[in-house]
């Protein structure tokens, strides 16, 4: 993924942008950027934050991984992670700011969809005696309920973000990936028997029902 980069003066006015930044904004000409203030591209709810971040940048020389919401040319909101640093000219004088952004809109949409799903099924998820594990299509654990923590011996934070191969005792990574692929292909439902691995290394029999939840 190419970086979205922009060159600004010390007052926050754009001097140059690269093609990736133009594409993210929805433009094919630098005329939409040059000479304009950075505030023209930031959602109103984040402009105060930008002001604070800019002051920090000028004072400390750099800022890293600042989450902001910018506006595209069509006013559609885009979530970004912004990092920037001051640049010096040949005389050692600070003259410009180089800013680099990463589009995280898809990630934020997935997080929002997962939150909606979690809220919708929260009672069932938290009150069933069955162990429940939610993972993405890559096999990375998004959430587990208390029942699964009890039967596996793991704390929730020890499982979230980890691959399900951490506790799946019979299938390897390649077999897990094939099962997920087949699950999607055959309609999003599967049931099978397997063994899971507890934190202490012992294994136990499990009867697994898999279902795809649309986000």
Q: Which domains does the chain have, with CATH numbers?
A: 4-103 (3.30.450.20), 114-211 (3.30.450.20)
Residue with tokens 């922009």: 6
Residue 103, Cβ density class (10 Å: 0-12 exposed, 13-18 middle, ≥19 buried): middle
In order along its 215 residues, the chain shows pLDDT tens digits of: 456 999 999 999 999 999 999 999 999 999 999 999 999 999 999 999 999 999 999 999 999 999 999 999 999 999 999 999 999 887 888 999 999 999 999 888 877 877 777 677 777 788 889 999 989 999 999 889 999 999 999 999 999 999 999 999 999 999 999 999 999 888 788 999 999 999 999 999 999 999 887 65
Q: 211: how many CB neighbours lie within 10 A of its CB? A: 10
Q: Which residues face 11 on adjacent strands?
A: none
3 state SS of 18: coil
Pairing label, strands 133-135, 141-144: antiparallel
Q: 161: how many CB neighbours lie within 10 A of its CB? A: 9
Q: How far apart are the first and last CA of the chain?
A: 24
Taking the C-alpha atoms of residue 57 and residue 124, their distance in angstroms, rounded to an integer, is 47
Q: Where are the alpha helices (DSSP H) in the chain?
A: 19-25, 47-60, 105-120, 122-127, 146-152, 156-159, 173-185
Q: What pLDDT, on a 0 to 100 scale, did the predictor assign at position 187? A: 79
């Amino acid at each position: 993924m190419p970086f979205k980069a922009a060159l600004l003066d010390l007052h926050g006015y754009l001097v140059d942008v690269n093609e990736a930044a133009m594409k993210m904004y929805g433009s094919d000409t630098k005329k939409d950027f040059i000479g304009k203030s950075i505030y023209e591209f930031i959602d109103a709810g984040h402009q105060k934050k930008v002001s604070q971040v800019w002051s920090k940048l000028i004072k400390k020389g750099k800022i890293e991984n600042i989450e902001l919401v910018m506006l595209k040319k069509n006013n559609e909101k885009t979530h970004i992670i912004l990092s920037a640093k001051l640049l010096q000219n040949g005389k050692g004088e600070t003259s410009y700011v180089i800013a680099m952004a990463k589009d995280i809109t898809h990630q934020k949409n997935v997080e929002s969809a997962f939150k909606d799903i979690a809220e919708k099924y929260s009672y069932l998820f938290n009150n069933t005696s069955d162990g429940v594990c939610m993972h993405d299509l890559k096999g990375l654990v998004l959430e587990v309920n208390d029942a699964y923590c009890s039967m596996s011996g793991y704390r929730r934070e020890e499982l979230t973000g980890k691959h399900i191969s951490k506790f799946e005792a019979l299938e390897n990574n390649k077999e897990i990936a094939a099962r997920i692929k087949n699950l999607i292909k055959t309609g999003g439902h599967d049931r099978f028997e397997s063994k899971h691995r507890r934190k202490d290394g012992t294994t136990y029999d499990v009867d697994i029902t898999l279902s795809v939840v649309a986000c």
